[in-house]
């Protein structure tokens, strides 16, 4: 599922994506007109640099580990919101239909049978994964 910004419409999202595509591919400024180039940082500002994927982990919610976040996200990539509520067999069928990798399907097969899961969080918790706790 492709994410879109909520501040403007899909057409403007596509235009903005097109404007940055050359920069992302070339890893350098690609504009011919100098006045359109990005300004360098000021003297007292840090130089922006690309970070490797392992550096951009984001925040981990209370009650979860980074492995929980990655595992739940990996399964959720192959389950749409319309898959819920569902039991184990239905979730396995949806994962197979969505061409999920074998290890994801095997993980879903470990869900307890005879129980309906209302959302991904309930399914992940049934697999023994940590879930978010409300902040107080």
Digit-by-digit pLDDT tens for the chain (136 residues) are 555 556 777 788 787 777 777 767 766 666 666 666 667 777 777 776 665 555 555 677 777 788 888 888 888 888 887 888 999 999 999 999 988 899 999 999 999 988 999 988 899 889 888 877 776 5
Residue range of the domain that includes 85: 66-126
pTM comes to 0.54
Q: Say if residue 117 is in the same domain as residue 70.
A: yes
Q: Say if residue 74 is in the same domain as residue 118.
A: yes
Is position 75 within any domain? yes
133 and 62 Cβ atoms separated by less than 8 Å: yes
Is position 136 within any domain? no
Domain count, the chain: 2
So what's the pLDDT on residue 62? Answer: 78
């Amino acid at each position: 599922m492709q994410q879109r910004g909520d501040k403007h419409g899909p057409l403007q999202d596509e235009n903005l994506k097109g404007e940055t595509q050359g920069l992302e591919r070339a890893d350098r400024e690609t504009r011919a007109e100098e006045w359109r180039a990005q300004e360098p940082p000021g003297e007292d500002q840090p130089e922006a640099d690309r970070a490797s994927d392992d550096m951009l982990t984001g925040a981990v919610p209370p009650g979860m580990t980074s492995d929980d976040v990655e595992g739940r996200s990996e399964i959720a990539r192959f389950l749409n919101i319309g898959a819920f509520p569902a039991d184990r067999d239905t979730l396995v069928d949806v994962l197979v239909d969505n061409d999920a990798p074998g290890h994801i399907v095997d993980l879903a097969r470990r869900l307890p049978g005879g129980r309906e899961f209302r959302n991904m969080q309930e399914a992940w918790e049934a697999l023994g994964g940590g879930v978010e706790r409300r902040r107080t």
